[in-house]
Amino acid sequence: EIPLEFLKPLHGQTLQEEEKLILECEVSKADRAATWYRDGEEITPKDGVKLISDGTHHKLIIDSVTVDDEADYTVKIDDKSSKAMVLVEGELDISQSSLDILF
């Protein structure tokens, strides 16, 4: 049997807070179970977090990211895995005290 391969691995992304994250991969075999991890912790579907498997395509979707979603994401299928770093940039906070210094 031909071993499973990633035809399209995960790619790292940099997002702004509240943007939608879509991590996707494609593998050489259909209908395989995918397990997703964030910094080594298994991800389960919940409000705003979807895990989609469709034939050879697998997706993790987070509707609105926060800085807490910044992490290494891994998808594991059979004995193979693909990893990507997701960076989330928060809003720039200019406090009143730093403005006072300018004037």
CATH number for the segment(s) 6-102: 2.60.40.10
pLDDT reported for residue 1: 78
Domain spans in the chain, listed from the N-terminal domain onward: 6-102
**C-alpha atoms less than 13 angstroms from C-alpha of 54 in its C-beta half-sphere:** 6
- DSSP conformation class of 39: T
What is the average pLDDT across 85-103?
A: 68
pLDDT reported for residue 8: 98
Is the pLDDT score of 98 beyond 70? no
Amino acid at 99: L
Is the pLDDT score of 102 beyond 80? no
Element at 69 (helix H, strand E): none
pLDDT reported for residue 43: 98
pLDDT digits (tens, 9 = 90+) for 12-66: 999 999 999 999 999 999 999 999 999 999 999 999 999 999 999 999 999 999 9
pLDDT reported for residue 90: 84
pLDDT digits (tens, 9 = 90+) for 73-85: 999 999 999 999 9
pLDDT reported for residue 85: 99
**Residues 6+ away with beta carbon under 8 Å from 3:** 78, 79, 80
